[in-house]
Amino acid sequence: MEKKYSGLSVPRYKLMEWYDDEKQVFFDCDKADKNACLAKILEKTYIPEFVVFFIAKENDAYSFMDVTYRNLGKETLNHFITRYEKQLMNMTKMSLQLRKIEYVQNVGFSYELEQ
């Protein structure tokens, strides 16, 4: 990403250890079978918050941004991804446009677990 968008700085501390290209999900896993971990995470219903990472552009400068959505209805990450792409992404884009920021590219999804 940083090569594609000049001047972009990705705050790696915000990202989890693993990334699945197909689902575009950043996740943590301490087991050898990463696919099994991801499948379990995608179906969890007790995730308090979902995080969406994206590239934005303001005044010819690119930024790595994120937005967090609370999980009020015990939704799974898998369901949230579908809902975000169908409904919430457009709302996110419109809210950025009001601030004269362009939503350039979705980077991926993640989650916040209770500490």
Full DSSP string of the chain: -TTTSTT----GGGS-SEEETTTTEEE---SS-HHHHHHHHHH-S---EEEEEEEEEETTEEEEEEEEEE--S---HHHHHHHIIIIIHHHHHHHHHHTT-EEEEEEEEEEE---
Residue 74 lies in a domain: yes
- pLDDT at position 115 over 70: no
Task: Tell me what pLDDT residue 106 has.
Answer: 96
Residue 6 lies in a domain: no
Residue 4 lies in a domain: no
Residue 21 lies in a domain: yes
- pLDDT at position 33 over 70: yes
Residue 98: is it exposed, middle or buried by C-beta count within 10 angstroms (0-12/13-18/19+)? exposed
Per the structure, the count of domains in the chain is 1
Region 42-67: mean pLDDT is: 95
Task: Tell me what pLDDT residue 7 has.
Answer: 84
Range of the domain at 77: 12-112
Residue 36 lies in a domain: yes
Task: Tell me what pLDDT residue 65 has.
Answer: 96
- pLDDT at position 48 over 80: yes
- pLDDT at position 15 over 80: yes
Residue 17 lies in a domain: yes
Average pLDDT, the chain: 93
Residue 2 lies in a domain: no
Residue 22 lies in a domain: yes
